[in-house]
A and B are shown apart, each in its own frame.
Chain A
C-alpha cells in the first residue's frame, strides 16, 4: 500500500488551548503548521473550563506574581518545579492582557479593569488573607479562549486536519521524532504527516476512571503515544479527585453545596462524616471526604440497589435558598438524575478531574528524558497542556492554573520551536522501517474472529482503576490493582472489532483509545504503588505522611520494562529564593 504523505514544519497534535496557542505563535512567524484534532477544534475540552484563568493583576485585591508563585508551590505540595512555576506566574499578567487584546471578552469591573474572582488556595502576602486572582469571561472563559485562538489561527493560515486521529509518533534510528501517523476518521485512510517538529497537546486522561468529570474524548492518547515511543511518563500517581460527583455520571457538584449546609449520609441515614472528621465533618478536605465515601461504600453502607453511592442532602435548605444560591447545581441534578434536590437526597461519588502527571518537559516545552547526569531533550518533540508535566502543578493543581499553564507554555513551546526550525531547515528522510511499527499498530485492528468487545473491556478497566487506584490507596489494594490491569492488558489481545468498514468506523477509534487507556492505567497504578508516602492528591492510607527525605522527587514510568526511575524536583527558582518545603496547612 502506498501511504499518503504531507510535509509541514510543525505538526501540532491537539486543538485545545495548548495546541492552538503554540500553533498561533508559529503560524504568525510564517512556519508551515498543521494541527490535527480528533474532534472539531472548538469542541476540545478546554471549552469546559468555566471558572477562569489566574493572573496576579491586582484589579480587585492587592496581589503580585510572587504570591501567586508561593500559592502554586504550596498547592503542589512542594513537588512543582520552582523555576517553571516562577516563569508561569511572571508571564501570567502579560498573557491575560494579550488574550484580552486578541478578543477574549473578560468580565469587567466598574472602572473598566478585568474582573477577578477569589478561588481556593489563593492568598495575599505568602499565606495571608484570601486573594482574588481568577480572571473570568462570565461562565465561558475556556470557550472564549478557545474560539479566539481558533479564529486567530484561521487568519494566520494554520492548516487544520479536523477529525483526524493521531495513532503513533514516527521516530528514526537516532531517536529524532519525524512526525506522526494519523488517520482520517471519515475515510479511515492513514496519512503520514512529516514534520521537523511535533508538539503533543492532547489533553488529560479522565476517562481512566469510571466516575469522572471529563468529556469522552479525554483518553490520554498523547501520553500513550509518548510511552510507546520509549518516553517515560512523569508523576502519574497524582490525579485530582473531587468528593462529590453525580453518581454514575461524574459531573461535578461543587463544594458550594456542602458550604451552604449540605451533608452526607449512608444507607442507614447516618451522617458518617462525624466519624471521620469530628470537627470539620462534611467540610473536611477533599481527600478526607473522598476516602470516607469510598470506605462507606466498600463496607456495605452505600445507598441504592447496588449500594454504590452515598447521599448528599440539601433538601433541608428549602427550594428558595437552593434556587438562589445553587441554581446550576440543582438544574444539573434535576436533568441527569431526575431527582428534585429540594425534596430528595442526591446520589454522589468521588469523581476524577485532572491529570497532574504527563509527558516530562522543560519550560520551553521540549520533551526531556533523563541521561546519566541530568536530562536531555528528545530532538523534534514538544508537549504542552494537560498531557505535559512541566511540572507546575506538582502533586496538586490549583483551580485556574491550568488555563494559565496551556497559554504560557503553548507560547513558550512555539517560541522554542521557531528557534529549532531556524537551525533545522530540512526534513530528515523517513525510512520504511521508521513507519513499520506505527503501521503494524494500525493494521492490528483488521484482525477478524470472535473475541471481547472494546466497550466491555474499557468499562472493566475504568471500574478497576476507580476501585484499586482511586481515592483509597494501600500497598495491598494497589498491588491487586496492578495485577488486574496487567490481566486487562493480556486480554487486550483478544479484543476484536466486528465492524471492519472504513467510513466513520468509530469502533476502530475506540479500540485505539482503549489501548491508550490501558498503557496509561499501568503507568498510573505502578507509580502509585511505588510512591510510599502521601503528598497532594496521592494519599496512601498506609503511609499517611509526606516524606520529603525519601520522596521529594518526580517519578518516571517506562513502558518497555515497566521500570520506575526518579529525578529531583527543581527547587531553585529563576531569580528569587527557594520556597523550602513546609507543612501544608490551610
Chain B
C-alpha cells in the first residue's frame, strides 16, 4: 500500500469519466418526503367521497379545509422545527396563551384590539425564544424543555385568567376598537363565488408556500436541514446552528400566536383550558407528512397534507354519521403507518446506488 500511495499518480482515469446518470423519475419522486402523505390523502378523500354523500358538496369541502387549516398553520412551523431536529410540546397551549393575552390586555385596559394583538405577539415570540435558548444553551432535550413550558403555560392560562376575570373564559371583546379590522384579517369569510372559505385557509396556503420556499430555496433552509441532519458537522462548516434552532422555536411561536388570534377573533372570547393535546396533533401532521422524528428530513407541503388528512377524517366521520370516537383509533393506525412508510422511504432514498 505504501508504494502505491507514494509513487502512483492520481487514481482517476483521465480519459473517459463515466457519464452522469440522473436518477430515474421514480427514484426522485419516491425520495420526496411527502409522497406517502399524498397517497394517503387521495385514498382518504376517495373513501369519504364514496361512503358519505354530504362529503361531496362544496360547503363540506369548505368545512374540512377550515378544520385542516387550523391544524396546518401551526403544523408548518412544527414540521420545520422537526426537520431542524427539535420538538415543541408547548405549541398547543401556546395558542391559548396568545389568545388569552391579547383578549385580557385589550379588555382590562380598554385598548384597541390591535394593541393586544401585538403585545401578545411579543409575548409569544419571547416564549419561543426562551424555549429555543434553553434547548441550545443547556443541551437538555427539547422534549423536556418544552414539556416544562407546556405545564407552565397551561397553569398560567388557567391561573391568570381566573385571577383577572374571576372565570375560566375571557370577556367578550367584540365591542372594542379595532375588533372589526382584526376579525377581517384573522377570521373573515372569503367568498370565492363557487365556495366560501375561511380566511385561515388562505393564510395556511401562504405559510406553507413560505415554508417551502425557505426550506428549499434559501440558505436558512439548507441550515435547517443540516442542523437536524447532523448538528456537529453543520457547526463545523460554520452553520449557526443555535440561531437556526432558536429561530425555529420562534417560528412555531409565531404561528401558534397567529392561530390564537384567529380563535379569539372568530369567537371573540377564549376558554382558558383549550389547546391541550393539540401539540400532538401538529406533530402527527408533520410526521404523517414525512418529517423524521430524528430530524434532517421532511417538508412543509407534507405537513399540509398531514393536516388535510386530519381535517378530512375528523369531518368525514361526522358526515358519514359515525361515532367520532373512532377517530382516535384511526389516528393511531395512521400514525403508525406513516412512520413505517417514512422509514422505508428514508432507507430507500439513502440506499447506495
**Genuine A/B complex:** no
Which residues of B are in contact with A by a Cβ distance under 8 Å? none
Which residues of A are in contact with B by a Cβ distance under 8 Å? none
